[in-house]
Structures are given as C-alpha cells and as structure tokens.
Structure 1
Amino acid sequence: MSIEANWPRCTSCHVGYGWQSASFDFKDQSKVDCLVCHDTTGEYKKTPTGAGMPDPVVDLLYVARNVGKSSRQTCGNCHFFGGGGDAVKHGDLDSSIANPTRDIDVHMATDGGNFTCEGCHVTKNHDITGNAMVVSPSNQKHIGCEGCHQGTPHYESILNKHMKKVACQTCHIPTFAKKVPTKTSWDWSTAGSDMKGGKDKYGKPTFAKKKGSFTWGKNIVPTYAWYNGQSHVYQLGDKMDPTKVTKLNEPIGSKDDPKSKLYPFKNHKGKQPYDKKNNYFTTVHLFGKGGYWKTFDWEKSIAAGMKSSGVPFSGEYDFAETIMFWPINHMVSPAEQALDCLDCHGDKGRLDWKALGYKSDPMKK
C-alpha cells in the first residue's frame, strides 16, 4: 500500500502541516510541526485524517507555552504506532518502551540507563541520526552500539572475537515484542469479505473487513541475516514474480563479505495486490471519497491509486506474497540475559546455518 492517493490519512503521523498531496513544499519552514516533538504537556495530538493538522480540541497556546526537549513519549507517539497501531510495524518499538523495565530495555529503563531517544539518535540542527533500513537503503545516518561500547567490552576473548562478524544486537536482544504483541503478517486478499473476525491468544484482532487478516507474535526469536549496511528496496513499477515471495526490502551481505555482520530482524509477511499483466505491485486508493474503505471495490480503488502514482494499470489484479525485514535494535536485555554459546551452537540452536551460507554449524568442525 502507499501514501499515494491516501495523503490526508498517511501524513497525519508526520511533522508537516497540511501535507495533502505530492505538491507539498518541504522547504517551507512554516509548515513544520514543532509541537509534535516538543510538547511536554502530553495533550498535543493530531487529527487522524487531517493531513498533519492539530486536533481542534488542543489548546495550542497552552502547549506552545510549555515546549521543551523531545522525549520517549513524543518520539513514540509516531514511531510506536506506525502502520495503524501499537507495534504494527516495528517489533522492537512499542508503547512499552515509553517507560520500560530493565528486562524490556536496559538502556531506556529508569532503573537502567534511563536513555532518551536522542541519547543514541544524536541530533544537531534537527538532523537526526539513524534511519529505518527501508527508508535509508544506503544507511547514510548509521548509528550503532560501537558509539558507546568501543574496543573489547567482554571478559572472554572468544566473545570479543565474535564482534568481527556478529552484531551486538544479535546476542543482546534474544527476543523482541517482549510485552506488546507485534503484527507478523497482513493478508489484504481477505479484505472486503464477510468472514468473521476474532481475537487471538494475545487479545489482538485477526481480521478487519477494511484491512484483511492478521497474525501477531510475542517474545519472538528474530530472523538472522548478513548485513553490510546496504539493502535492496522494491520500487513501484519494479517487476515481480507472483509465484514467489517478493522481498520488499532485503539486507545485503554474506559470510564472505568483510563488511557484513550477523544481525537480527523481524520478518513481516504480507499479501498485496499486483497488476496481473504488468507484473508489478499496485498502489490503492484506500481513504476518502471513492476509496476502498468505502466502496470495497478493488479494481476501481487500484485504478485510482495507480493514476495518482503515475503508473499504468492493466485493469487486472490478483494478490501475491511479500516479506519485509525490520532491523531489531531496541529492547536490549541486561547482560545476564544475553544469548549463551549453546543458544546458537547447541543441538537446538536458533541459527539456520544453511541459510547463512554454511553447510552446518562451523563449530562442529
């Protein structure tokens, strides 16, 4: 799905005022919403469908008189709830991070490091370091554990040796979605049907007529992949094979790449509409007049979305499987809860050695 043709809804969670179309002027500083990051009252909010405009019920004068530094809560108002709800996108960013205990995130816990977001995402002149992999495939604003944990931080030399090929996050984030379940799959092909919805064992919805079917997970063991800081990203109009699972983004790297390290990821599976004749994924007009959420007409909604995107639509569509990789960087556990040797190299180790390019566990040699 896409921001195209859905501007007022999608842009409600961004810092621009009145971002209603592709003509939005990013150079106009008067359209920057300073309050969304600098509110200290907890009362500022945006209209969910208002293209980034403040909710009319907010006392803007009161909020403006009480601005201050950003906080975990102001950052989290958008980043915890991206994709339509708590923990929908990120498996390691959710409402539990606003005030976590040590076992959820040792850095941000009040009885731990008590970090704010900018403690790691160092900012100068409003230029914030760190980007999600799907946003910055070239990793231009990289931040990492080595900014603080330099040299050889372990007592055991074998662990320090591992640092050459294993990212800190791999051992120190054994699981993610520790308290709040995260969405693990989203099937749009069932949207519009009259199938009965329900809730899973976590109390999360498994179906919504507007959006389709979902699955959720909690305390999830990450997927592991080699990552050298670069990634592939699927672009609108790129050809795809509907018989295969399309990787909408994918970390680049291998065991033989000297710049690659083993990193943990959340895999988010999907099923999305594609153009059957042109073999590429489509954008869909979901929100507003004539949108799918009102008409439940896929053909017309796709046609409107593709017209807004400027990409031809053949008029024929179907659904194909996709997968996304979301890097896991938050929810760092205390050192005593980090992975042990046998968690990876034991008989029931968590690593898929063949997928990582090995014939078997290299330690068994």
Structure 2
Amino acid sequence: MASLKASLVAVSFIVLVLAGINLYLGYSGNDLLAQHYMTDGEWTDSSCGGCHMGVYEEVAESSHVQRDIAQWEPLTNYNVDVQGEEQWVKEYGRYNPGGGELEEYGVDIDCMSCHEQYGLYDAEKRAMAFESGNFSAANDAAMEDAIPVVQQDPLHVATYTLDVLTPLPMLVTFHDAVNAAPTRTSCIDSCHEMNVPTTAVMWASEDYEEYDVHSEVNCVECHNTEEHNIAGSEIPVPATDNDQINGEQGESVHGELSSMKSCEAAGCHEGISHGPIADAHLEFLECQSCHIPALPGGKLPGTTPPLKSFNWSSGERVDSYRMENFTPQLAWSDGVQESEIKVPDSKNDSNVKLAPFNVVTGSWWDAGQDPDILANPDTSASKGDPIPIPEVKAADSNGDGNVTSEEMQTYDGDNDGTPDYPNAVLRQVDLHYKLGHNIAGPETGMAEPLMCDDCHGVPASETLQQVHFEVRPDCLTCHEVRPVVDWAALGYDSDPAETDPPTNFSAKTIDITIPGAKPPEVEREPAF
C-alpha cells in the first residue's frame, strides 16, 4: 500500500511538473505551442489545415484576395504601369488581406484581419508597415499586441495546464474565442472604413445604433458568403467580363458569387406588408430607397466628411465635402457594376430597380481615344484612357498649378515634336456610390422613412409640371434640400403617379402589417 501511494504521489508530481512546463511554454509563446493552440495568428497546414482542409486554397481564390492591382478607378486615379506596382502596394496594400498579387511582396493571406476576436488587431500598424515598404512584416505588426493577450488569456492558461491529460488540445473550449466569424468591428477597422467618405455610413460611430436599425446585426448575416466570396450590394465585374455574367447574381471570372440576403428572407422581414400599393412598388424599388431618407454631413467618425466632389485636373486630388446633412439620390440599378465608372443604369435596361446612391462628382483627364468619351465625356460609362497623374503634372508648362486644356493637348513628354494627348478632355462624371446602411425605422435614423409625397406630387399643377420636366433648373434653386427623386433624370416625362384630378399625396399614409405581431394593448378604465 505504501509503495502504491508513493507511486501515485510520484505520478501526480510528474504530471504537475509537465503541466507547469506546458503552462510556462504556452504562456511565454513557444513557437510549437503557439501553432498548436492557434495563438500566433498565422495559418499552418499542421494545425489549421487538419480540420479546415482545402480552406486556404479556397480563400486564395476568393474575390477579396484575387484583386487586380492594375485595375484603375477614379478615386485613386492610380496608373500601375506608370507609377509602379510597388508604390501601389505601399499606398493601398493595407486594404488587401494578402495573398494573390501581394505574395511576391512577402505578404501572405492574413486570416486574422477578419477572424481575430479580441478586438486587438491593429490595422494601423499593418498600414504603417506597408507605407514604410516593410511588406513582409505587415501581418505580424497587426497582431503584435494581440498575441500576448491571447497566449496569457485565462482560458488558454487553463487549457495549457489540462492538456497534459489529453492527447489533443481542447479545441472546443477556445477555438471560437480566438478565431471565429468576422465581426462588424473587424470589417470596419481592417478595410471598410475607407467606404465612409463615399457612402456616409456611420458604422464607426459610438452611437451607430441611433442611425441604423441594423446596428446590432453582424455583417455576415446579410452579406452571404460562399467559399469565402462575400456578397456585396453590387457585383463588381469589369466591362470586358460582361459576357461572363449569367443571371441576376450570376457567375464571374471568380466563379459563383454570393448574393446579398434579401430583406424578405426568412428570419428577416418575411411576410411584412406595407399595403397593396406600397408593396407593388417593390417590383421596381429597393427597400433601401425609402429606408435611407437622409445621410449625415460634416466630420464623420474616423475619417473625413462625405465627399461631394474630387478633382484631379491639376495632378493632385482636390476634394470638396458635404458639411450639412443631405439626401441620397434615386437611380436605376441592376445590381451589377460593369465598369470602373460608377454611372447608373437606365429605365429601359433589364432587371433594374430604383436604389439610393450618394452622388460624387469626379474630374480627371482622359486621352480622348474613345469616340464615346469624346462625344459624351461626362456621361459615358466607358473607362477610356485616363492620363497618368505624373503626365498631368508635367503638362503644367507655366507651373501655376492649373493644367488647362491647351497645356494638356499640346504636352509633348517624349519630345518627339508631336503632342502626346491632342484629344485630351477633362471629364466631370457624377459617380453613383450605392447605399445599403444607415437604415431608418419608426424610431431610428436621421429621418422618417419616405412617404408618398416625398416622391410624388409634381403634377399638382401645370406650373410644377413645366418646371420639373421642361425648364429643369437646379433643384436647389427652389428646394432647401435636394429632393430624393428627379423623375425627368430617371427617364420620365411626367410623374408616374400623375392623376387627373391631381392626388394629394401628403394625405396618404402607409400602414405596416407584421405577421404574428403582438396586438396593441388597449387601456381600459377600471370597472370600479
């Protein structure tokens, strides 16, 4: 008996020592244990790949990773061929999760940019590493503060200790505490704060719940994900790939693309009715059109005020901002973004609905080689041939900081005696940025959702009809706030709800019926 007790004591002592060693190694960040317990913030085939077979390859082919560095867009006006790919990585690599074209710069896919759960992922440190050219250290820099916290978390401390009694770490206890589905905070802080100037979304605000009825909804609940392809409000497809789009949410060069969850989907607003007339509008009107009635102006949390315009005409971007609250503009959209130039569809296009947009006027120089751009520089959906920024700056012959059409059209950068851009034209395009956030409800939002008279009522008199469809001055000539809808711009020659005699739409109400809703309580006077 004495020898048995001695053996048990010895075994207990050995287990205790091993537990202590395991605890010390895990707590101090031993490389092997860090991989084993997923506290180093990096993918390894040995630890992650054992359960998530094929996921790394799936992510590597996803639309977030497979982004074309060379793709031009008006806001950045960056020409990779002239300004260099490495400089692009310095300036914009922070918004890329790694992998894809960044692999050759030593930047692997950074799973933790989306999946870190402690709220300590430092996107700014990652951005600073990119800006300094220290690309390979960017992902590690983002997790520098988070890793010690994860390794020393009480949950992990207990797991290190107990794991000597088990053949495998107790994954169930800590996996989702470290690596779970993306949260709204990770989506915003890592990447999508960059969308605030063009969409005026308030999701970075501490009081976001006052602006959006969906403030407590996690992004991935609406932005459906298939094979790590995350749905957006529009499918971004370059014009050259239009023939590869099939159906409303279709297929692209990246394969099957997810669609956004519908407002009417099960578990969301299924079965809700606004009455037969309002419900009929859903055939050609997106829900957001009425439920995003206003957007905030002025300084927004974490960034600049919403953009009103940007101008590249001098070779440096000059911005103007919306300093007052403003209304979105309704325009036609089929849900597919066919070009880098964000212009709306037309009333006669297939599968279009009215949707809300923030309209930002962008200006930049084009070489004028596309006949459509020469004829319609401000309305053409063609990307054309944007003149690189260094060339625009060099065309400023008198150095006054203002590049004129004459200077741009006579510029001879290669000194061959022939102007480089004889047909140069300055484009001024109303770019439409689609909106999907800041959703208003009866008690939430900057304003009440739109009612009938917010859109209809122009034909109330012949004078109003003439002003809105024939004379057509700038809306702000008469209105203090630009109206949400311009029927003439949408392709109509009269208000589609015009009646004879005119209807007083301000007297119309919209009643909401919610299936299974609790009936209103009736207060009664006491019987005695």
Q: Same fold (TM over 0.5)?
A: yes
- Residue 326 of structure 1 deviates from its aligned partner by 1.0
With over 3 angstroms needed to count, the CA separation of the structure-2 counterparts of 1:153 and 1:131, relative to structure 1, is closer
Q: Secondary structure at the match of 1:147?
A: coil
- AA aligned opposite 1:249: K
Q: 1:128 corresponds to which residue?
A: 230
What SS does structure 2 have at the residue aligned with 1:363? coil
Find 2:92's aligned residue among 10, 13, 38.
Answer: 10
User: Structure 2 CA distance, aligned partners of 1:315 and 1:211?
Assistant: 21
Aligned letter for 2:122? Y
- The superposition leaves residues 319-341 of structure 1 with CA deviations (integer Å, 9 ceiling, x where unpaired) of 32223211111110014621111
Q: Which runs of no fewer than 5 residues in structure 1 stay unpaired?
A: 109-113, 192-209, 235-247, 286-290, 303-312
Query: Which entry has the higher C-alpha Rg, 1 or 2?
Result: 2
Say if 1:320 and 1:259 are closer, same or farther in 2 by CA, change over 3 A.
closer
Distance of aligned partners of 1:123 and 1:178 in 2 relative to their CA distance in 1, 3 Å threshold: farther
- The CA deviation at 1:298 is 6.1
The answer to whether residue 109 in structure 2 is matched with residue 32 in structure 1 is yes
Equivalent residues of 1:43, 1:63 under 8 A apart: no
CA RMSD of superposed structures (Å):
3.8
Greater relative contact order (Cα 8 A, min sep 6): structure 1 or 2? 1
Distance 2:395 2:187 in 1: 35
1:90 is matched with which residue? 199
Find the aligned partners of 1:341 and 1:47 in 2 and give their Cα distance.
47
The residue that corresponds to 1:268 in the other structure is 360
- Unaligned regions of 5+ residues in structure 2, if any? 1-76, 152-177, 251-257, 375-383, 397-407, 409-418, 459-478, 500-528
Indicate the residue corresponding to 1:322 in structure 2: 429
Match of 1:62 in 2: 148
CA distance in 2, matches of 1:332, 1:78: 23
Q: Match of 1:184, SS?
A: strand
Sort the Cα spacing of 1:63 and 1:78 in 2 relative to 1 into closer, same or farther, 3 A.
same
**Helix, strand or coil: the match of 2:437?**
coil
Could you tell me how far apart the structure 2 residues matched to 1:298 and 1:35 are?
A: 45
Larger mean CA deviation between 343-352 and 167-176 belongs to: 343-352
Aligned to 1:107: 214
Residues of 2 paired with 1:259 and 1:153: CA distance?
23
Alignment check: 8 A CA contact 1:225 1:262 kept: yes
TM-score (norm 2): 0.49
More strand by share: 1
Could you tell me how far 1:172 is from its partner in structure 2?
0.8
Displacement of 1:150 in angstroms is: 5.7
| 1:284 and 2:395 correspond | no
User: What do the CA deviations read for 1:46-66 (whole angstroms, capped 9, x no partner)?
Assistant: 124245823748516337754
1:44 equivalent among 115, 122, 136 = 122
Partner AA of 2:386 in structure 1: T
Match of 2:194, SS state, is coil
Q: SS at 2:485's partner residue? A: coil
Aligned counterpart for 1:176 among listed residues 291, 295, 303 = 295
Equivalent pairs, count:
300
User: 1:227/1:43 Cα in 2 relative to 1: closer, same or farther (>3 Å)?
Assistant: closer
2:524 maps to: none
Equivalent residue, structure 2, for 1:238: none
